[in-house]
Amino acid sequence: MSRSLTLALGLILSTGGMASAADITLRYMSWDPTQLEKERPAIAAFEAAHPGVHIQAQALPPSDYWPRVSAMAAAKDLPDVMMMSSGYIQQWVEAGNLVDLGTHLDEGTLAGYNGNAVATARFGNGLFAVPQSWSGPVLFYNKTAFDAAGVSYPSANWSWADFLNAARTLTKDTNGDGYPEQWGYWIYGRYAQVDGWVFRNGGRYLNEAGTALEPNEAAVNALRFLTDLTITEKVAPRPQDLQGVRQQDAFPLGMAAMWVDGSWNISNIRTVAGDSFQWGIAEIPAGPDATPQTLRSYAWPDMLAVGSGSKHEELAVAFIRFMTGEGRSPSDFLGGKVPAFDAIAAQEDWLERNQQPDNKAVLLQIGRQALYTGFSRSWDAWRGYGASGSAGVNGELDEVFNGRKSLDDAIASFVAYANDVMKR
């Protein structure tokens, strides 16, 4: 047992905690089978500290998880503890599916967590989840390609013009066939590849109340900049040109020298790229339209919540505290998943300076800034989450990046679609 688990269990036992509970089964559901396997020792340690308590843990991939828990909600048979997404929590709260944890957790207990992550779980006067980890888009860059081209690495002072100049230089068509062997950049319409650019330019899709899509000028300008990378500048391929290649593999396979996507991709890059090249991460450059008042970074937490109807609320909250707080080890968090409990994220074991990227501290810098999630009711539908070719933002932008639709027409289409969805 790790030292952190031992200390945390000692605290639970010394304070009485819930250790006297007997013959109780807590149902726990996760959307990440790989993460659940990482969690097995912590689950066993919690059970050891609470004689008679059994954690019935199940993990399903996201495509199966949400239909399953939605059906369980309809049947009023939700698990005691369930993973909750920043993108879905509002509608789950409004449906009455989550327990308000505010009566169980005081501000002193929450003080050790990243404040931005905790804020995502607050609605009205209630707290409906506890953050376990958080992540957000970063700019991945191929150091080896940068060195070969004589381009300086991205810095905190990079402008969009600096980024574009680098992308031009890094786009290499060595055999002159008109199709680069190395692209300067890679993008398609998914939220984690696009929306960070929008928010770093002071852009917003939503109105101030978060009730309708009304993209501001800065958002439109950001989308136009990204469109030009493919259509005008030709420093990025059309999404259709990489059919047959998993989108998360284009960068680690060396097909693109830069790429923006979620920090969780650190794990996949390590696996696919191995030691074939050196690489690092940077924050998405601030856009020309952003002001100190409108500039935001893009990040969001994955959380644990108590399903409404749980007969063991107090024990469920104790389990959540243990699974998100000081009871965890840095090694429990894969790649670019940042522990929401700040003391864990600050440990050298999490920073992994002996692995690529050696500058994961960039993520901690992002987490201390003003953040914006961009989520709203029905976000998954209007954003077109995971649905290329849909009527949502994702599918419409893919049409633009593939050269089949103008940006203005795409914006008109996804705004009309989104506002129809949000009124339902």
CB-based burial label for 122 (10 Å; 0-12, 13-18, 19+) = middle
pLDDT for res 327: 75
Nearest to 45 by CA among 326, 312, 310, 306: 326
Distance CA 304, CA 287 (A): 34
For 70-99, write each residue's pLDDT tens digit.
Answer: 999 999 999 999 999 999 999 999 999 999
Nearest to 135 by CA among 364, 379, 386, 350: 364
Structural tokens at position 138:
């970063």
Strand intervals (E) in 307-376: 338-339, 371-372
Distance CA 333, CA 38 (A): 8
pLDDT for res 390: 62
pLDDT for res 11: 42
Looking from the CA of 333 toward its CB, the CA atoms found within 13 Å total 31
CA distance from start to end of the chain: 50
Low-confidence ranges of the chain (pLDDT < 50): 1-19, 387-389
Three-state secondary structure call for residue 102: helix
Three-state secondary structure call for residue 325: coil
Query: Cα angle at 171 between 165 and 175, to 5 degrees?
Result: 145
Decide if 355 contacts 336 (C-beta within 8 A). no
Distance CA 221, CA 198 (A): 8
Three-state secondary structure call for residue 165: helix
pLDDT for res 12: 44
Nearest to 248 by CA among 283, 229, 272: 272
Type of residue numbered 120: T
**10 Å Cβ neighbour count for 148?**
14
- This prediction has a pTM of 0.91
Type of residue numbered 307: G
For 38-54, write each residue's pLDDT tens digit.
Answer: 999 999 999 999 999 99
**10 Å Cβ neighbour count for 91?**
15
Residue 322 contacts by C-beta under 8 Å, 6 or more apart in sequence? 8, 12, 42, 45, 46
pLDDT for res 334: 81
Please report where in the chains the tokens 């864990």 appear, as a residue: 344
pLDDT for res 21: 53
